[in-house]
Amino acid sequence: MAEPTAFLFPGQGAQAVGMGAAAYASSPAARAVFDEADDVLGMPLSRIVLEGPAEELVRSHNAQPAILTVSIALLRAMEERFGDAAPQATFAAGHSLGEYTALVAAGAIDFATALRLVRRRGELMQAACDATPSGMAALLGLRLEPAREACEGTGAQVANVNSAEQIVIGGPSAALERAVERAKDAGARRAIPLEVAGAFHTEVMRPAQDGMDEALAEVDFAPPRIPVVANMTGTPMSTVDEVRHELSQQLCGCVYWAQSIEYMAEAGAVRFVELGPGGVLTGLVRRIAGSAEAVAVTDLDALSALT
């Protein structure tokens, strides 16, 4: 019997020029995913991913469909290589943008529709960032409640709970600066500014959420075939209404990633397979669920670790 396995999918920030190049060159299944992305979006996304320039790739409306495409390409390359022996997911989860990828993997939405949604999501998020200068910072060595307390009254918010002692906060620039100072006073070991366009998963994104609600209302979702653990609750989504609500609310809501990994580990997952660029989520799994096997499939060579 196969080991209970969770598939994980990364979010924005994992992008790098050349990601997925080996899969594109060597896997017909992966190449077909890239080609479909170009056709659906009516633009040379593959060229931007494989060749850059980085200034183009990093823009939210390109980065989000690019990461989705590379993650699904690696998933299809894995299925192509192993056939019926390919690892099967017991659970799926994705960090922020990666939640869309997880829903594609779980059959709740098709790849083409997900591409259009995340392209629109990136446009709306960038517009919200342009409207309100804002940022994010990773607090190291400070737990969730003290981080929340540091944000109280400043206008900043907790945006990501990546592990017990890696909490990301965000907000309008002046608000974030105040919250960071309070976090340091409360004992944060470091506060690392993140290279992002603005404060994702905070109220800064409220205009983007309004726009996404319109886009999501036009999509016919299906119930996920496997449990997809939601960012905002750390528990599985099983109905179409839950999926639509999650994708709407997560733009302004906190990503409870540590709680999501804990849920899957406690529910029996003993192996976590990250499919996509970067490998950041694999490192977080090792901190959160240290006894579990964690494998980062960032390219075709990494598939050998799954045998």
What's 235's domain CATH number? 3.40.366.10
User: Residue 68: beta bridge partners?
Assistant: none
Same domain, 100 and 22: yes
User: Residue 41: beta bridge partners?
Assistant: none
DSSP 233-245: TSSEE-SHHHHHH
The rounded distance, in Å, linking the Cα atoms of 272 and 6 is 5
What is the per-residue pLDDT for 3? 86
Same domain, 155 and 291: no
Phi, psi of 45, rounded to the nearest 5 degrees = -60, -40
What is the per-residue pLDDT for 305? 81
Same domain, 108 and 218: yes
Percent of the chain with pLDDT over 70: 99
Domain boundary among 193, 221, 243: 193
DSSP 43-55: S-HHHHHHH--HH
Domain boundary among 173, 193, 213: 193
The rounded distance, in Å, linking the Cα atoms of 241 and 266 is 25
What is the per-residue pLDDT for 7? 98
CATH number of residue 165's parent domain: 3.30.70.250
Same domain, 257 and 189: no
- DSSP character for 255? B
What is the per-residue pLDDT for 306? 84
pLDDT, one tens digit per residue, over 2-26 is 789 999 999 999 999 999 999 999 9
Same domain, 149 and 214: no
3-state helix, strand, coil in the chain (%, to 5): 50, 15, 35
User: Residue 178: beta bridge partners?
Assistant: none
Query: H or E element: which one contains 129?
Result: helix 111-131
Contact 192, 13 (CB under 8 A): no
Q: Helices 240-249 and 206-217: crossing angle, nearest 10°? A: 150
Q: How many domains does the chain have?
A: 2
* Lateral strand order in the sheet of 236-237: 236-237, 228-229, 91-94, 5-9, 271-275, 293-297
Same domain, 170 and 109: no
Q: Which member of 96, 134, 163, 260 is catalytic? A: 96
Contact 23, 33 (CB under 8 A): no
- DSSP character for 3? P
Same domain, 187 and 267: no
The rounded distance, in Å, linking the Cα atoms of 279 and 126 is 25
Tell me how crowded residue 39 is: count the other CB atoms within 10 A of its CB.
Answer: 12
Same domain, 122 and 224: yes
Contact 176, 300 (CB under 8 A): no
Tell me how crowded residue 28 is: count the other CB atoms within 10 A of its CB.
Answer: 9
Q: Is 96 a catalytic residue?
A: yes
Place of tokens 């340091």: 184
What's the predicted TM-score (pTM) here? 0.96
Same domain, 248 and 112: yes
pLDDT, one tens digit per residue, over 254-289 is 999 999 999 999 999 999 999 999 999 999 999 999
Same domain, 253 and 291: yes
Q: Which member of 60, 61, 95, 201 is catalytic? A: 201
Q: Is 201 a catalytic residue?
A: yes
Domain boundary among 171, 193, 215: 193
Same domain, 137 and 126: no
Place of tokens 């499919």: 275
Q: How many residues does the chain have?
A: 307
Same domain, 126 and 148: no
For 243, the domain range is 5-130+202-306
Parts of the chain with a pLDDT under 50: 1
